[in-house]
Amino acid sequence: MDLDARLEKVAVLGAAGKMGSGIALLLAAEMAKQKIKPENKDRTYALHAIDVSDEALCGLVSYLRPQITKIAEKSIVALREAYKGREDLVENSDIITAFVDEAMSVVRPSSKLESTAGSRLIFEAIIENKDIKIDVLKKLDAICPDAYYLTNTSSIPITVLDEGVGLGGRIIGYHFYNPPAVQKLLELISSKSTLPEVVELGTELAGRLRKKVFLANDIAGFIGNGHFMRDILHATGEVARLSGELGEAGAVYAMNRVSQDYLIRPMGIFQLIDYVGVDVCRFIMQVMTEHIEGETLEDDLLDRMAEAGVMGGQYANGSQKDGILKYEGGRPAGVYDLEKGGYRLFADGDWTAKSDEKLGAMPEGNAAWRALLMDPKKEQKLATYFGNVASSDAFGAGLARTYLVRAKEIADKLVSDGVANSPEDVNGVMTNGFYHLYGPINEYAGLVAAA
Amino acid sequence: MKKLRRRIFATAGSNTISLGTGRKEFHPKKPRPGLEHYIKEAGQGALAQINDADNIDEGVIGNFMAARFNRQGNLAAMMPMVDAKLEYKPLIRVEGACGSGGLAISTGAKSILAEMADTVLAIGVEVQNTVKAVYGADILGGAGYYAGQRKNGHAYFFPGKFSDRAGAAYEKYGYDKVREAMARWYERAVLNARECPKAQEHHNSTEDLFAAGMTPPNPKTFCEHINFYDCSKVSDGASAVILASEEGLD
Ligand SMILES: NC(=O)c1ccc[n+]([C@@H]2O[C@H](COP(=O)([O-])OP(=O)(O)OC[C@H]3O[C@@H](n4cnc5c(N)ncnc54)[C@H](O)[C@@H]3O)[C@@H](O)[C@H]2O)c1
């Protein structure tokens, strides 16, 4: 059965969740594009959007319509061509409305697993819990015997799911990044038993969804989280080291600045933890520890934060919840102080000034991430800047140097452990999925290591 | 007729800024001034240069498709918002696609030639940033032959027409030469705009304008033979001028 045939009957599990809703959006648009082709007029398309929460499914429908409209608006040139034969559709607005209706008619929201019977492609994006995932997939396998499974798990090895359900290799890791409709990166994880035709089909589909695919091997955490989680541990280790002098909140503030401003990343490490969710990070570390021999990923700071109810994550509208950092208008405005049991605002008192003073002068040539993003002379400017980081005696520059060196070590190990097939794959995931301006395996790390 | 039978003077011109992407004041998600604002600003700018609005005999306003862009018809009835003294004077709205402002002027001139008026306030106004470009293209496409050509036309109907002409020019003179000429044209237009504080591209600070103009056309997202830089942007704004006979000038 080829991709076109499989795309007639598709299911998304956890369709009302953060990832599931985005995946459902991409699929609804792709299936509608198939559906309107004249040669497919006799085919029926169904996208079963399954979630345990009925209430959330209502939200899914109201999310999908405006999002599909945006996709249609952007695809107007192609859609006009596709609808050439429809004399009744003249203006762009007629065509966009027709396409949106077509896509919405494909979507079948339901809280009943049984309605997926006969599905040929199943995207799994439910809660990150091995036992629940295995249990749900088992039930599905009984009613969708030919299906291929594409799981969005962030950390659980694909082999564990495959063997737990008994899928005989009909499963692949299909790791979208959040939000799936926007992020270009797709980490494709095949286990030793994943059937070659599943890899092939997954790759072909990724192309249609205009995703940039990077292959990862089946080791818990894969490339993206494999790097991110260890990066967190480096930052929190530095926080522990600096806490005596700066206080814990002051140290968190300092390391968030080092990871954002000094390394020129889109957001600081603690903001990124909040973006993903404190608990999600802890959970991924736990799963990695469970499946990776000889390495324990545990973080005392995250554990204490979680215990105090500091969670991060996002509201339904995508805005950031307070976590380790407090946010005002989407921007960090304070740090949670575990001793005090509340947020310390940047604006209150001189505690941030103390940390800034400790960091010292910013090395020359520093620029904001956003400013360099589109700069054609980006590489040259980064090289000059990191040259200055290498030679600066400011304390902050020293923290940036150790950070860069550690980030490269983590990346090198992902390659030597066989998680990634090449340094390019690690760099590709970090630049495309995390929007870093440069991959962790770079010449700057060598430059500063020499210093 | 070879010669106008009366001399006609144009005076007291007034322009608003051209608002749209590229201007610092423009933010797609924030509320913006509407028709009323621009009509008043341009009209009052002209009237401020003469003694008294009572000296105006007639008003003409040119606009294309406000009924779709702004859900507003009968624009002539908005002219007294410029000055209450225009109330009960002959006011008329004219439309002729991109030539609407020009029609306002020639209509005013006709009244003067016909000795129906000695002074006419002519205004042109457009507020088109109310819809996304993809829907704006539908509305602007109304300047073409809807029943005969819209269905088979490009999503961006008029850019599509110009793209066809550019394609013909590539064939005749070679792609490189024409592309370079159009890029130079774009560069000149922006350089001129930088000299004019009210121009939409006044804040454009692109270093290498020519390089931007050389961007290869992308038929997947836009037209086959032209790029975005070859096209003027969507703007909101208005202009006004007072037309007068010799008597009116007094
Ligand atoms: N959020 C991210 O940044 C991110 C990125 C990549 C991968 N992931 C992975 O994607 C998956 C989903 O994560 P999320 O962030 O979208 O979580 P989420 O909590 O937003 O969504 C999960 C959805 O699954 C539903 N659900 C739970 N149990 C179910 C069941 N038994 N049957 C049907 N539906 C069920 C929930 O009601 C919820 O709507 C996880 O495996 C996660 O590790 C998340």
Q: Cα(B41)–Cα(B206) distance, rounded to whole angstroms?
A: 30
Residue B47 has pLDDT above 90, yes or no: yes
Question: Do A92 and B154 make contact, defined as CB atoms within 8 angstroms?
Answer: no
Question: Do B155 and A77 make contact, defined as CB atoms within 8 angstroms?
Answer: yes
Residue B89 has pLDDT above 90, yes or no: yes
Question: Do A80 and B138 make contact, defined as CB atoms within 8 angstroms?
Answer: no
> Ligand 1, closest atom to CA A14?
24
Q: Cα(B104)–Cα(B149) distance, rounded to whole angstroms?
A: 28
Q: How far B133 CA sits from the closest chain A CA (Å)?
A: 9
To 5 degrees, how large is the angle CA A403–CA A408–CA A411? 125
For residue A314, what pLDDT is reported? 86
How far is the centre of ligand 1, averaged over its atoms, from the C-alpha of A443 (Å)?
38
CB nearest A92 (choices: B152, B155, B219) = B155
Interface of B with A in 111-150 (CB under 8 A): 132, 134-135, 137-138, 141, 146, 150
Would you identify the CATH topology of the domain A3-217? Rossmann fold (3.40.50)
Number of alpha carbons in the 13 Å side-chain half-sphere of residue A315: 7
Q: pTM surpassing 0.90? A: no
For residue B176, what pLDDT is reported? 97
Domains A3-217 and A224-449 share a fold: no
Residue B28 has pLDDT above 90, yes or no: no
Band of pLDDT at residue B66, cut at 50, 70 and 90: very high
Q: Cα(A353)–Cα(A250) distance, rounded to whole angstroms?
A: 9
Q: How far B143 CA sits from the closest chain A CA (Å)?
A: 13
Where do we find the tokens 């002519």?
B122
Q: Which domains does chain B possess?
A: 9-129+235-249 (3.40.47.10), 133-230 (no CATH)
For residue A448, what pLDDT is reported? 81
Tally A–B CB contacts below 8 A. 31
Radius of gyration of chain A (CA): 23
Task: With residue A12 as reference, give the H or E element that holds it.
Answer: strand A9-13
For residue A368, what pLDDT is reported? 96
**Neighbouring C-beta atoms of residue A292, cutoff 10 Å:** 17
Length of chain B: 250
For residue B162, what pLDDT is reported? 96
The closest of B206, B248, B205, B249 to B57, measured between CA atoms, is: B248
The answer to whether B202 contacts chain A (CB < 8 Å) is: no
Residue B113 has pLDDT above 90, yes or no: yes
DSSP of A179-229: STTT--EEEEEE-TT--HHHHHHHHHHHHHTTPEEEEEESSTTTTHHHHHH
| CATH code given to domain A224-449 | 1.10.1040
Please list every residue in chain A whose beta carbon sits closer than 8 Å to the beta carbon of residue B135.
Answer: 92-93
The closest of A4, A48, A431, A425 to A204, measured between CA atoms, is: A4
Q: Cα(B21)–Cα(B8) distance, rounded to whole angstroms?
A: 37
The answer to whether B219 contacts chain A (CB < 8 Å) is: yes
Q: How far A125 CA sits from the closest chain B CA (Å)?
A: 32
Q: Cα(A393)–Cα(A363) distance, rounded to whole angstroms?
A: 9
For residue A440, what pLDDT is reported? 97
How far is the centre of ligand 1, averaged over its atoms, from the C-alpha of B175 (Å)?
52
The answer to whether A78 contacts chain B (CB < 8 Å) is: yes
Nearest-CA residue of chain A relative to B149?
Answer: A90
What tokens does B51 get?
A: 């003694």
For chain B, what is the HEC assignment? CCCCCCCCEEEEEEECCCECCCCCCCCCCCCCCCHHHHHHHHHHHHHCCCCCHHHCCEEEEECCCHHHHCCCCCHHHHHHHCCHHHCCCCEEEECECECHHHHHHHHHHHHHHCCCCCEEEEEEEEECCCCCHHHHHHHHHCCCCHHHHHCCCCCCHHHHHHHHHHHHHHHHHCHHHHHHHHHHHHHHHHHHHHHCCCCHHHHCCCCCHHHHHCCCCCCCCCCCCCCHHHCCCCCEEEEEEEEECHHHHC
What tokens does A41 get?
A: 């007029």
Which amino acid, residue B81? M
Which class for A143: exposed (0-12), middle (13-18), buried (19 or more C-beta within 10 A)?
middle
Which residue puts its alpha carbon closest to atom 30 of ligand 1?
A: A52
Sign of dihedral through CA atoms B144, B145, B146, B151?
A: negative
pLDDT by residue (tens digit) across B220-239? 999 999 999 999 999 999 99
The answer to whether B23 contacts chain A (CB < 8 Å) is: no
Chain centroid to CA B172: how far?
31
Q: Tens place of pLDDT for every residue, chain A, 451 residues?
A: 899 999 999 999 999 999 999 999 999 999 999 999 999 999 999 999 999 999 999 999 999 999 999 999 999 999 999 999 999 999 999 999 999 999 999 999 999 999 999 999 999 999 989 999 999 999 999 999 999 999 999 989 999 999 999 999 999 999 999 999 999 999 999 999 999 999 999 999 999 999 999 999 999 999 999 999 999 999 999 999 999 999 999 999 999 999 999 999 999 999 999 999 999 999 999 999 999 999 999 999 999 999 999 999 988 777 899 999 999 999 999 999 999 999 999 999 999 999 999 999 999 999 999 999 988 899 999 999 999 999 999 999 999 999 999 999 999 999 999 999 999 999 999 999 999 999 999 988 888 877 7
Q: Cα(A394)–Cα(A396) distance, rounded to whole angstroms?
A: 6
How far is the centre of ligand 1, averaged over its atoms, from the C-alpha of A415 (Å)?
28
Beta-strand (E) ranges in A256-392?
A: 325-328, 331-337, 342-345
Q: Cα(B195)–Cα(B180) distance, rounded to whole angstroms?
A: 23
Task: With residue A301 as reference, give the H or E element that holds it.
Answer: helix A300-307
Please list every residue in chain B whose beta carbon sits closer than 8 Å to the beta carbon of residue A82.
Answer: none
Please list every residue in chain B whose beta carbon sits closer than 8 Å to the beta carbon of residue A84.
Answer: 152
Q: Cα(B170)–Cα(B217) distance, rounded to whole angstroms?
A: 12
Where do we find the tokens 């760099």?
A427
For residue A318, what pLDDT is reported? 77
Which residue puts its alpha carbon closest to atom 39 of ligand 1?
A: A17
| Contact call for residues A67 and A100 (beta carbons, < 8 A) | no
Q: Cα(B173)–Cα(B177) distance, rounded to whole angstroms?
A: 7
> Is A354 near ligand 1, meaning CB less than 6 Å away?
no
Domains of chain A: which residue ranges? 3-217, 224-449
> Is A17 near ligand 1, meaning CB less than 6 Å away?
yes
Which class for B228: exposed (0-12), middle (13-18), buried (19 or more C-beta within 10 A)?
middle
